[in-house]
Structures are given as structure tokens and as C-alpha cells.
Structure 1
Amino acid sequence: MKKLFIPLLIVCLVWISWLSPYTRPLWDLLDQKAFNLLNAWIHKSPFWQNFWAFTGHRIMDYIHDLIMLLFFFFSIKWASKELKKRKVAELIFSTLFIALIIWFLNGPLAPDFLHFRRDSPTIVDKTAFRLSSVIDWIKVKDRSHKSFPGDHATTAILFTCLIFHLMGKRAGAIATVYAIFFCLPRLIAGAHWLTDTLIGSASIAIVATTLAFATPFANRCITAIEKKLGSQLQNKGISMKRKNQ
């Protein structure tokens, strides 16, 4: 029960502190300080301007997808013969789980139902450096009227939480480092505030994975997928035998 209630309690306390008029100024100060620090990274360096412009582009999404798949590829490759089907089932479950959360929670629920239509730093802060003002060879996302929460950050943190649950602490630590890099381009460019990630995206990821793995839900889904894979492989083997005969 601790695995279920402790993460949810922490998320609730963080949200209370973010919504409270007494502690919200501290969060807003953190947002502004973090943005000033990260945005200053690209003020004068053409190299970093081009680097972060590219890493924040849609093309990079395919590279991120490939890197996330590599975690599962090596997990399947290094698993024992008895566990390989289970690992494939975990990959299928994780892909569907992330897609569902992004589509449902980040899509209609956060901006429309919860009414957190929040402007990004480059819209609020008139002194912000706009990366799109110096980069014209690629489309740069450096502003948003719906910055809370961020889809990229939600994907990255969901992925990290899944890796911790499915592959352990060592793989989870590597995934955490990767997730930080995944989130940085939009924070540096000013498309999102830090709390869009820390409060919005992280809360969604932690609550979703806690409810999935601290209850029988994830295990039952993965087991069902594993059985389906087993039956399909068995049927394929039988049909191949009949062809050979």
C-alpha cells in the first residue's frame, strides 16, 4: 500500500504548494530564475543556438523514439529465453500506455478540463531571447499558449518511470539522465516553464505509473499481451509445420 499512497501523497502536497497563494510566489521565482539561467545559454553562441534549435525540432522526436526503443531492445536481447516474451510484452504495454496518457491527459484534460492554459516564458517575459529570431533554417518551437504540461516532458518522464518499474534502478538512472536531455530544448528555448515539467508532466507520469504498477493493472495487461504473443507464435509454428509436411 505504501507504493500506492506515498507517491500520490507527495504529488498532492506539491500541487497544494503550487496552487496556494502563500507558496506560489516561490514556485514562480524558481520558474523565472531557471528560465533566465537556461535561456542565457543561447544568447551569444551560434553553436548552441543551432544545437538546441535542432534538438527541439520534430525530426529529433524520431531519434528520441529510437533511443527509447533501444532500452527495450537490449532488455529483450539480454533477457533469458524464458523471459523474452515477457520483455516484448512490456515493450508493447509501455508504448500503448505512453500513447494513451499523452492522448487523454495531455490532450483534452489538462488545458480544457483543468483550465491550465498557460503562456510560455517567451510570451510572458518581454526580455526573453527568442531562438526563432536567429534561426531560420529549421522551425523552432519557442512559444506556446498551452505550455502546461509539456508533451515532450510527459513522454520523457513516463518513459523514465516505466524503466524504473520494469528494468530496475540502474537502467532507470540512465533513463533519468536521458530524460533531462529530452526536456532541455523546450526549456532553453522558452516554450515551457520549469514547473510545466516538474509539476505538470512529472505529476501525470508519477500518478499514472503508480496507479498502473502499485495495483494489478500493469501486471495483468503485460501478462495478457504475453499470452497473446505466445498463442500467436504457437499458431505460427503449427502452420509452418503443416506447410513443411
Structure 2
Amino acid sequence: MSNDNVLTKRIRQILLWNILAVVLLVSQYYTYRQGFWFNIDAAIFHFFNQFLDGSHQIFLYLIAITNHRSFDIVSFLAMALLYYTYFRQQNNECKRKMIIIGLMMLIIAVVIKQWGRFIPIAHESPTLYFEQFEHINRISKLTHFGTKDAASDSFPGDHGMMLMIFAAFMWRYFGVKAFIQASIIVVIFSAPRIIAGAHWFTDVYVGSLAITSFVLSWFLLTPACDTIVNLLLRLMPKRFFKSP
């Protein structure tokens, strides 16, 4: 494929991801209190909340434990383990590059989190919203467990956003199989926040997806990321995984 064709393809991909992001955010902005997305959010919240009434003790404590702040370490370890499976397959030069790519994930995560603050959407979590109008089940009250089941501003889903950034980098550098594996991690570890009512479904799968799609399309589908990675690679001390 010629360079012109590659450039054209990349531009189209960036535009598509940007259009997706804008459509998601605009639709979220106009329907997060009523209408299309709100109906989906409300249905998902009430479906799971009915099982948090204390009669399903195993499920209740499972959600409580997986929403504890310390459980975030488990999600980090899951990502680290997947990353390591690809890391150990590489030669020394590629391992050096993967260390830099891992660092870039952390940096871009901070950038995207800050950028997300400029999105003019802010709302409380579903637990705080619905308890104004009806009785709901709060896992923190039913278990007396230091767990997260509410947030005064739950948009966007920061936890889900970090997971999605990881998935996007895995797709960019290791292909579709790695992306599917990383996406499974996204679904598994973003689910507890949604089930507990600490986040709306759309906080993660609309807000987080839109923000990461917009920013990462300009970072991963342009020479920007590779340029920074190669620059840092040249600055990296040679003692780390010396080339044979």
C-alpha cells in the first residue's frame, strides 16, 4: 500500500472515530436526564439493583468487594499480566520499546482525565439520583463495607476510561487478538461500578468511550505516539535490555 493510500486510510479512521465521539457526547448531553440514553441507564440500574437487596448474599458481597478501592489493584494486575504475556515474547529491543509504551499509557491517561473535565456534562451517580424518588438498595449500607456505590459526579467513568486506554494501546501495537483480550478486561472490571450504581452505564460506554476515541485517534493514528516513543527510546539507558 502506497504512503498516500495509508495516509488517506488513517485520515478516514480518525474522522470516523471523531464523528463517533461527537455523536455519543451530543446524544449523551441531550438525553442523560430523559430520553434514549436515560431509559437505557435506568433499565440497567434497576435490573441489577433488585439483586442487591440482601437476599443474594454472595452476589451482594461480590459486588461490594469488587467496588472497594483496593480491588483496583486486581484490575491493574490483570492488565499487567496481559501486557507481560506479550512482553516476554519480544526480543530485547522490542522489550525496551514496550517499557516506553507502558509509560505512554500512564501519561496519556492523565492527559485524557484532565481533558474530560472540560466536557459540559456532570451528574450524580444513579444511586444518588434514584434514592430521591424511590427506595433503592445501597451495598454500602447493606454490607457496612467500605465500598464505592455512589459519586456526586460520576461522568465520565474514570476507571472505565483507564481500561479503555489500555485496550486501545493493545490494539494499536499488538493487533486485534490483543484488543479482544483487553476488551474482556474492560467489560469485567468496569461492570462492578455499573452494577453497584456508582456509575451509569453511559458514564463508561458513552462518556469514557467518546473521550478516549477522540483523543487517542489523534494520538495513536498519527505519528505522534511513535515519535514520542522513539524519542524516549533513544534517551532510555542502554543497560535496560541490551541488544545482543
TM bucket by the smaller chain? 0.7 to 0.9
Partners of 1:82 and 1:159 in 2: CA distance: 21
Report what 2:43 is aligned to.
33
Gapped runs of 5+ residues in structure 1? 238-245
Matching residue within 188, 194, 212 for 2:195: 188
Going from structure 1 to structure 2, the CA distance change for 1:236 and 1:7 (only over 3 Å counts) comes to: closer
Tell me which residue corresponds to 2:26: 16
2:118 to 103, 109, 116: 109
Maintained 8 Å contact 2:92/2:241 = no
Distance in 2 between residues matched to 1:69 and 1:18, nearest whole Å: 32
Which runs of 4 or more aligned residues in structure 1 lie more than 6 Å from their structure 2 counterparts after TM superposition? Answer: none
Partner of 1:118 in structure 2? 123
Alignment of 1:172-183 (within 5 A): 172-183=179-190
Letter in 2 for 1:233: K
1:240 corresponds to? none
SS at match of 1:95: helix
The CA deviation at 1:203 is 1.0
User: Which position in structure 2 is the counterpart of 1:97?
Assistant: 108
1:63 is the counterpart of 2:65 = no
Q: Residues of 1 paired with 2:17 and 2:34: CA distance?
A: 21
> Conserved in 1, the CA contact under 8 Å of 2:164 and 2:212?
yes
Per the alignment, in what secondary structure is the counterpart of residue 76 of structure 2? helix
Which residue does the alignment assign to 2:136? 128
Instruction: Verify the 8 A CA contact 1:132 1:142 in the aligned structure 2.
Output: yes
Q: Is the 8 A contact 1:17 1:24 kept in 2?
A: no
Tell me: higher relative CO, structure 1 or 2? Use CA pairs within 8 A at least 6 residues apart.
2
The residue number in structure 2 matching 1:202 is: 209
- Check the 8 A contact 1:144/1:192 in 2, yes or no: yes
Distance 1:154 1:74 in 2: 22
- TM-score w.r.t. the length of structure 2 is 0.85
Deviation string 1:150-191 (CA, Å, 9 cap, x unpaired) is 211111111111211121111110111111111111111111
* Same amino acid, percent of matched pairs: 22
Distance 1:182 1:194 in 2: 13
1:127-168 CA deviation, whole Å, 9 max, x = no partner?
A: 3211111112x3111111101112111111111112111211
| CA distances 1:180-216 after superposition (whole Å, capped 9, x unpaired) | 1111111111111111112211111111211101211
Q: How many residues are treated as equivalent by the alignment? A: 227
Separation of aligned partners in 2, 1:53 and 1:187: 12
Sort the Cα spacing of 1:236 and 1:15 in 2 relative to 1 into closer, same or farther, 3 A.
Answer: closer
* Letter of the 1:74 counterpart: T
What's the RMSD between the two structures over aligned residues?
2.2
Question: What whole-Å deviation, never above 9, does each CA across 1:25-47 have from its counterpart, x for those lacking one?
Answer: 01110110111122233232111
1:51-82: CA deviations, max 9, x gaps?
11111111111222222222222222101344
- Aligned partners of 1:75 and 1:87 also within 8 Å: no
Aligned to 2:175: 168
AA matched with 1:118: H
Please report the TM-score for the alignment, with normalisation by the length of structure 1.
0.85
- Cα contact 1:41–1:188 (8 A) shared by 2: no
SS at match of 2:88: helix
Structure 2: state its 5+ residue gaps. 1-10
